[in-house]
Amino acid sequence: MGEENVVNHEFFISKLSDAKVTFERALDCKHTEFDDLYPYMLEHPQFFWYKRYVAWSQLLTIAGLCEELSVPWKDQFSPQQVGYLQQRVMSAKVLDFWFETNDSREHAQR
């Protein structure tokens, strides 16, 4: 593997990890960069749903790019989470069971 491929691999894994943390923080209704973009929306209950969808879209986009570029991304997630990402739809199941078999909840506390 060339040096450029290693850099690309590390870059995308880093971005994927960041997106995963952002999504997990959004699930837990914790602060994300998105809150800073729309501080006036914090008072509206629907904001938290929108924030989750934005974080989910970001996670799907980066996972999709990893897939297209042959960057192994699935080992960053539990098999259950990989299934959710491959289905692409953020359903109530994803919201309710994302942490079910994943011990990475501590990431959301960053």
Over residues 56-84, the pLDDT tens digits come to: 999 999 999 999 999 999 999 999 999 99
* Tally of domains within the chain: 1
Amino acid making up residue 85: L
Model pLDDT for residues 2-50, shown as the tens digit of each residue: 666 766 899 999 999 999 999 999 999 898 888 888 887 878 878 888 9
**Do 66 and 12 form a contact (C-beta atoms < 8 A)?**
yes
Q: Give residue 58's domain range.
A: 3-109
User: Whole-model pTM?
Assistant: 0.81
The CA R_g of the chain, rounded to the nearest whole Å, is 15
